[in-house]
Amino acid sequence: MSSDNHKESFWTKYIFSQDHKVIGIQYGITSLLFLMLGFLLMMVMRWQLAYPDQPLPLVGWRLSPDMYNSFGAMHGTIMIFLGVVPVITGAFGNYLVPLQIGAPDMAFPKLNMASFWCYFVGGVVMLMGFLMPGGAANSGWTSYPPLSVVATSGQTVWLIGMVFLITSSLLGSSNIIVTIVQLRAPGLTWMRLPFFIWAQLVTSFLLLLAFPPLEAAAIFQLMDRLAMTSFFMPSGLIVGGAATAYAGGGSPLLWQHLFWFLAHPEVYVLILPAFGVVSEIIANNTRKPLWGYKPLVYSVIFLGFMSFIVWAHHMFLTGMGQTMSMFFAVTTMIISVPSVVVLTCLVISLWGGSIRFNTPMLFALSFLPMFGMGGVTGLPLGLPLSDIHLHDTYYVISHFHYVVAPGTIFAIFAGIYFWFPKVTGKKLNEVLGKIHFTFSLIFMNGIFFPMLIQGLAGVSRRLADGGESYAHAQSVIHYNEFMSMSAWLLGLAQIPFIINIIMTIIKKKDKNPDPNPWKATTLEWACPSPPVGHGNFEKDPKVYRGPYEYSVPGHDDDYSPQFEKLGDK
C-alpha cells in the first residue's frame, strides 16, 4: 500500500477514494437518495390508489396503468437493491466494520471502491430504464416470466442493472468477510465481537452465496429476451392471441425457484444488520450488557443457514405439490424460532436498565414492536392453508413492509442518529429528531395497518385502481385515501430529518469533539470523531474485554470500553 504522505487530489480523495470511510459515506448518500426516489414513486402511486384515474395535482397528468406497473416494479427494486441493502451493508458495513474491529481499512480497498462504482453504475442503468420505449421494467420487482420475457425493453435494462448490482454485492460482501476474519485487533476474539459485526458477517455470507443463483437466472432471462431461448417459456404459449416464436419446453417455475433462492435470504440481508444496529444502541442506552449475547450470536448464525431452505414458501400457490409445501412450511416455522429468540433477548435487555430516551434509542425501541408485527403477520403466510387466502393480497404487502419499513428503515434512522457524531464530530439535533421519530412512527402505521384489513378482505396487490373495480373490495376501499394521506404525511415527516442533517453539517465544529459522546464501549469510539485520515486510529487499538461491559460493579464509570485496560481510568 502507498504510504500516508502521498498527495491526494480531489478526485482520489472524494470520488475514487479507497478509504472505507469515504466509500461508506458515498454509499450512504447515494442510497439515501435512492430511498427518497423509491418513496417518491410510491407517493405518486398512492395518488392513483386513492383517487383512481384523476390527474395528479400540480403536474396534471394521469398515471396510466402501464406506468403504475412500472412505478411498482421500480419502487420495489429501488427500495431493496438500491436503497435499504446499500445503506445497511454498504454504508454502515463499510464505515463501521473496520472501526469496530480496530482495523486501518477494509482488507481490499481497491475492491471496495470497485464495489461502490459497480453499485453506482447499476443504479444509473436501472434509472435508464425509465427512458426506454415502453418505460422501465413493469413486471414487478420479482420479474416473473413469461410476462417479463415478453415485456417491453425496460426489462432488459433491469436485468443488466441487476448484473452490476450482483457484482457489487459480491465484491462488497467478500471484502467484509475477509476484513472481519483477518483484521480483528489483537485481543478481539470471536466472542468479544460486537453483535453488529456478527450480523454483518452472516449477512455478507448470505449476499455472497444467495446472489449468484439470481445472476444465473438473470443470464437465462437475458438469453430468453435477446437470443430467443426458452428457459422460462413453456410450450404453446399464446401472447395477445398469437402463438409466440419461442421453441418452448421451458419452465416459468424455474425462474421462481432461482429468484426466491436469492430473495428469501435477501429478506435476512435486510433484517440481520438491523438487529445488529438496534442491539448496539439498546446496550448503549440501557447502560447494561446485552441480555443473552451468545444466544443472539448463535441465533443469527442459525437464521443465516435456515434462510437458504425456506424459499419456496413464496411459491405455495404454484402447485409444486404437498410434500414440497409441507417441507417448506416446516422450515419456515423453524426459522421463526431464532427470530423470536433475537427479539426476546433484545426486549429482556431493557429489563432493569436505566434507559436514556434519546432519538436513536426511540427508533431502536420502536423497531422491536414494529419488527414484531412484521414477524407475527408472517406466520399465516408461512402455512400453505392460510397462505391460499392471503397470497398476493395487501396482507403480504403489509407484512413485509412492517419488517422493512418501520423495521429496517427505523434501524437505519437509529443508526444514522447514533453514529452521526462519529462520522462528522457533531450530534444531530434532538428536538428535530424526536419530531421526526414521532410522526414517522404514527404515519408508518397509518399506511401499513389498514393494509392488513384490506388484505384479509382479499384485495389483491398490484391493482392500478386500488380495487375500485372489484366487488369484494368495496367494503374496505375507503382505507385507500387514509393510507395515501399517511404516506404523504410520512413524506412531510422526513423534512425535519433532512433539515436536521443539513443544519448539523453546516454548523461549526467544536475544536475538540468528544470521541465518545454516548459513553459507549466498542472500538469505533476509541478513534477521534471523525476518524483520522486513511488509517483510522491514532495508535493501534488493543482489546481487553467483551463488547458490552456497562455498569460493571465496583467501577466509577458505568461503562468499561473494550479498548481500555482495567484501572486505566
- Candidates 119-127, 143-151, 203-211, 460-468: pick the segment binding other proteins (CB under 8 A): 203-211
Strand partners, 242: 239
Does residue 261 bind other proteins (CB under 8 A)?
yes
Judged by CB under 8 A, the residue of 258, 300, 341, 342 near other proteins is 258
Site for other proteins in 3-22 (CB under 8 A): 3-4
Are 361 and 285 spatial neighbours (Cβ–Cβ below 8 Å)? yes
Which candidate, 23, 189, 30, 93, places its Cα nearest to that of 419?
A: 93
Judged by CB under 8 A, the residue of 210, 281, 329, 457 near other proteins is 210
Does residue 160 bind other proteins (CB under 8 A)?
no
Does residue 220 bind other proteins (CB under 8 A)?
yes
CB nearer to other proteins: pick between 199 and 411: 199
Site for other proteins in 84-123 (CB under 8 A): 103-105, 107-109, 111
| Amino acid residing at 471 | A
Give least dist CB 526 to other proteins, A.
17
CB nearer to other proteins: pick between 352 and 533: 533
Contacts of 431 (CB under 8 A, 6+ apart): none
Give least dist CB 480 to other proteins, A.
40
Are 467 and 478 spatial neighbours (Cβ–Cβ below 8 Å)? no
DSSP string, 460-503: BSS-TTTTTT-GGGTTTTTHHHHHHHHHHHHHHHTHHHHHHHHH
Give least dist CB 308 to other proteins, A.
10
Give least dist CB 534 to other proteins, A.
5
CB nearer to other proteins: pick between 199 and 258: 258
CB nearer to other proteins: pick between 179 and 408: 179
Does residue 254 bind other proteins (CB under 8 A)?
yes
Give least dist CB 95 to other proteins, A.
17
Judged by CB under 8 A, the residue of 54, 64, 182, 475 near other proteins is 182
CB nearer to other proteins: pick between 517 and 535: 535
Which candidate, 174, 144, 178, places its Cα nearest to that of 158?
A: 144
Please give the grid coordinates belonging to residue 272. Answer: 440481520
- Candidates 157-165, 172-180, 348-356, 377-385: pick the segment binding other proteins (CB under 8 A): 172-180
Give least dist CB 177 to other proteins, A.
6
Note the maximum CA span of the chain. Answer: 82
CB nearer to other proteins: pick between 106 and 451: 106
Give least dist CB 143 to other proteins, A.
16
Contacts of 235 (CB under 8 A, 6+ apart): 248, 249
CA torsion through residues 57, 61, 65, 66, sign: negative
CB nearer to other proteins: pick between 206 and 487: 206
DSSP string, 395-434: HHHHHHHHHIIIIIIHHHHHHHHHHHHHHHS-PPPHHHHH
- Candidates 225-233, 344-352, 500-508, 554-562: pick the segment binding other proteins (CB under 8 A): 225-233
Give least dist CB 172 to other proteins, A.
12
Strand partners, 536: 532
Q: Cα(526)–Cα(536) distance, rounded to whole angstroms?
A: 10
CB count in 10 Å sphere of residue 68 = 21
- Candidates 81-89, 169-177, 389-397, 399-407: pick the segment binding other proteins (CB under 8 A): 169-177
Are 531 and 99 spatial neighbours (Cβ–Cβ below 8 Å)? yes
CB nearer to other proteins: pick between 213 and 546: 213
Site for other proteins in 521-560 (CB under 8 A): 534-535
| CA 121 from centroid of its chain's CA atoms | 19
Give least dist CB 257 to other proteins, A.
7
How many Cα neighbours within 13 Å face the side chain of 159?
25
Does residue 174 bind other proteins (CB under 8 A)?
yes
Does residue 144 bind other proteins (CB under 8 A)?
no
Q: Cα(281)–Cα(239) distance, rounded to whole angstroms?
A: 54
- Candidates 75-83, 243-251, 269-277, 334-342: pick the segment binding other proteins (CB under 8 A): 243-251
Judged by CB under 8 A, the residue of 67, 87, 206, 217 near other proteins is 217
Give least dist CB 215 to other proteins, A.
6
Give least dist CB 263 to other proteins, A.
13
- Candidates 216-224, 270-278, 318-326, 416-424: pick the segment binding other proteins (CB under 8 A): 216-224
Give least dist CB 48 to other proteins, A.
37
Judged by CB under 8 A, the residue of 65, 134, 140, 213 near other proteins is 213
9: exposed, middle or buried (Cβ count in 10 Å: 0-12, 13-18, 19+)? exposed
Size of the site for other proteins (CB under 8 A): 48
Give least dist CB 295 to other proteins, A.
25
Q: Cα(271)–Cα(192) distance, rounded to whole angstroms?
A: 22
CB nearer to other proteins: pick between 166 and 435: 166
Judged by CB under 8 A, the residue of 12, 142, 153, 251 near other proteins is 251
Are 188 and 102 spatial neighbours (Cβ–Cβ below 8 Å)? yes
Q: Cα(112)–Cα(132) distance, rounded to whole angstroms?
A: 31
Q: Cα(165)–Cα(145) distance, rounded to whole angstroms?
A: 21
Which candidate, 293, 281, 303, places its Cα nearest to that of 356?
A: 281
The per-residue b/e assignment along 107-126, b for 16 or more CB within 10 angstroms, e otherwise, is bbbebbbbbbbbbbbbbebb
- Candidates 57-65, 115-123, 222-230, 372-380: pick the segment binding other proteins (CB under 8 A): 222-230
User: Measuring CA to CA, how many Å separate 210 from each of 264, 267, 309?
Assistant: 9, 11, 11
Q: Which residues bind other proteins (CB under 8 A)?
A: 1, 3-4, 103-105, 107-109, 111, 170, 173-175, 177-178, 181-183, 208-217, 219-220, 223, 227-231, 246-247, 249-251, 254, 257-258, 261, 534-535
